[in-house]
Structure 1
Amino acid sequence: MKKAKRFFQYDNIGYLFVLPAFLYMLIFVGYPIVDNIILSFQDVNMKTLTAAHKPFAGLANYIEIFQDPVFIKSLSNTLLFTVCCLLFQFLIGFALAIFFNQNFKISKPVRGLLMMPWMIPITVTALIFKFIFGTDVGILNNILQGLGIIKENIDWLTSTNTAMFAIVCANVWIGIPFNMILISTGLTTIPQELYESASIDGAGKIQSFFKITLPLLKPTIESVLILGFIYTFKVFDLVYVMTGGGPVNSTHMLSTYSYKLSFEMFKYSKGSAVANVLFVILLIISMFYLRMTTKGEEE
């Protein structure tokens, strides 16, 4: 007891403040991850779910999912979805951040209103876009027909050619404010004196943008892209509500396919194996992000 009391004196008192958060993460994050990893090496289904000793399957589940065409489709869909969303939401968010960084009268109120898509629950956003892209009563079809662009309704969410486009649009709408606010914060850290000096030296706005703004925003841009990748790659609720992975598996992501295997097909071990593939990819990206930020702080 005396040793413990002596340990928590002075600088070591910080461990007491960290302990509750550490225990929370250990119980509610660490244990499920470890349990899911163990589950992926077993053969657990409806028959063996309650068995005292679960059959050991080794790497069989991982071999089977990598031979599963739906898993390969889900993996490629996840990568395609992530890249498309990152590209458009970053470009639009960057443009809006530059625009609202100008000191005009209503810039701050309008920028605050543009944060609404980020604050609305994703399930609500998914339902809104499901209504927008609906076939018979969809707002988009009605607008396009009113303008004379189309004559017949387009099956946005039930066609393999357009379903991915619809969920990308929904996710881009959610991600634009996130990109805009982080880039806007980065812009505020750039000293205005640099632009004034460049103007005196005869540099135009385009030259100042490429020689001052972009180089100084590099750490912010890297953080925005990596965090955006992590948030987008693990998408579940948006896709599940809008399309459920359909039609014909055309919008299945790793997360939705893992859910389908586990809770619709009751192949718990295979579902956990898919979830672990998603976990490993995000872990690698997260480690890269931490290494990048640590390196930036040291410099």
Structure 2
Amino acid sequence: MKHATHTPARPTAGDGRQGPPARQSGGTRRRPTQRAWSAQLAAWAFLAPVALYLIVFYAYPLYRNIELSLRHYTVRSFVQGDAPFIGFGNYAKVIGDATFGPALWHTVVFTVVSLAFQFVIGLALALFFIRNFRLSATLRALFLVPWLLPLIVSSSTWSWMLNSDSGVVNALLHTFGLGPVNWLTSPQWSLWSVIIANIWIGIPFNLVVLYSGLQAIPTQVYEAASLDGAVGWSRFWRVTLPLLRPVSAITLLLGLVYTLKVFDIIWIMTKGGPSNSSTTLATWSYRLGFGNLLPSFGPGAAVGNLLILMALIFGLIYIRVQKRQGPA
């Protein structure tokens, strides 16, 4: 007898068995790839304006400033573009200059004193306004006026107030029997005059940021601290200040970067004088590059790059400290 060959039956839809997977058409296989490419193109389209802005207004000027500091530029070579390469000669020239030491010291004093008073006064005002008393929002808005005014207006106002002959400050001192002070024309007071003006301008920024940080602290933390007996100054030092540390760090860092490059206030009020008594690295850089009859573009750019390097170092220190502390 012949044995019938057994042919396996194909699985049907209802027998629970599955056959080999059906091949996908080419169009179905391309859809995920097309969607991924579309998403990437959309992302690049949104990123392109920001990248173009950073390249045009930050990367290229920084490159040009570095290139200026490494060549010996004169007015003729600046126009013709044939300045010889001298390496770090401009940096050695400015560091060896007699103005470098005092300008660096004035920059440090101007920055440290301004940051200290701006932060302390801003924190005190933030703690005062966090109570949300009547008219607190109105008063808080009034404190923002110095921050919103153009720097030329603020600097001119302070120049008028500190005028030796007709200034309001000297008139007020006269009522208390104190002699007039040459705020802007005395080597002893010129630096402190611009520091006072800069403190007044920077307080609103510290107030706004620290006030936002205080609002982010949960009230439950204060309730728990009061149950443990932490009230008044004890609550401030053990609860408020530690929880405000991340906000305080970024406030001081931004204030440091801004204060290092302050130029408008000093130049309008004293122009770095008298006798370089209020000259900082920012004003010296401008005077080297644009303030003389024979501009020194290379040394001026070198001083500007030193300021950028100082700000970069403090920024890297901040990032490293934040990584060590971990997430807040």
Do structure 1's residue 255 and structure 2's residue 291 form an aligned pair?
no
Partner residue in 1 for 2:62: 33
Aligned partners of 1:167 and 1:239 also within 8 Å: yes
What do residues 131-158 of structure 1 show as CA deviations (whole Å, max 9, x unaligned)?
01111111111111122222xx321101
Question: Does 1:183 pair with 2:210?
Answer: yes
Preserved contact between residue 74 and residue 83 of structure 2 (Cα < 8 Å): no
Residue type of the alignment partner of 1:241: I
For 1:188-227, list aligned pairs within 5 A: 188-227=215-254
Q: In the alignment, what sits opposite 1:69?
A: 98
Instruction: Provide closer, same or farther for how the CA distance between residues 8 and 79 of structure 1 changes in structure 2, counting only shifts above 3 A.
Output: farther
Shift of 1:295: 6.5
What TM-score, normalized by structure 1, do the two folds share? 0.92
1:120 pairs with 149, 154, 173, which one? 149
Contact residue 8 and residue 15 of structure 1 kept, 8 A: no
Bigger radius of gyration among the two: 2
Task: Please name the residue that 1:163 is paired with.
Answer: 190
Q: How far off is 1:8 after superposition? A: 4.1
CA distance 1:201–1:52, shift in 2 (3 Å): closer
Query: What fraction of aligned residue pairs are identical, expressed as a percent?
Result: 38
Separation in 2 of the partners of 1:100 and 1:37?
45
One-letter identity of the residue aligned with 1:184: Y
How many Å separate the matches in 1 of 2:304 and 2:257? 14
Higher relative contact order (CA 8 A, sep 6+): 1
- Counterpart residue number, 2:255: 228
Whether contact under 8 Å (1:37, 1:272) holds in the other structure is: yes
Which stretches in structure 2 are left out of the alignment for 5+ residues? 1-33
Question: Deviation per CA, 1:243-271, whole angstroms, max 9, x where unpaired?
Answer: 10111011111111111001123011111
TM-score, L = length of structure 2:
0.85
Q: Distance in 1 between matches of 2:256 and 2:305?
A: 17
Partner of 1:46: 75
The code of the aligned residue for 1:228 comes to G
Deviates more, 1:45-54 or 1:254-263: 45-54
Q: Amino acid of the residue matched to residue 182 of structure 1?
A: V
Number of the residue aligned with 1:20: 49
1:224 counterpart letter in structure 2: T
CA positional deviation for 1:68? 0.6
- How far residue 49 of structure 1 moved from its aligned partner, in angstroms, is 2.3
Rounded Cα–Cα distance in structure 2 between residues aligned with 1:62 and 1:188: 46
Q: Could you say what the CA RMSD is over the residues aligned between the two structures, in angstroms? A: 1.9
Cα shift readout 1:204-240 (whole Å, capped 9, x = no counterpart): 2222111210110010111111111111111010111
5+ residue gaps in structure 1? none
Q: Following TM superposition, by how much is the alpha carbon of 1:294 offset from its aligned partner in structure 2, in angstroms?
A: 6.3
Deviation readout 1:13-37 (Å, 9 max, x if unpaired): 2221011110111012111110110
Aligned to 1:241: 268
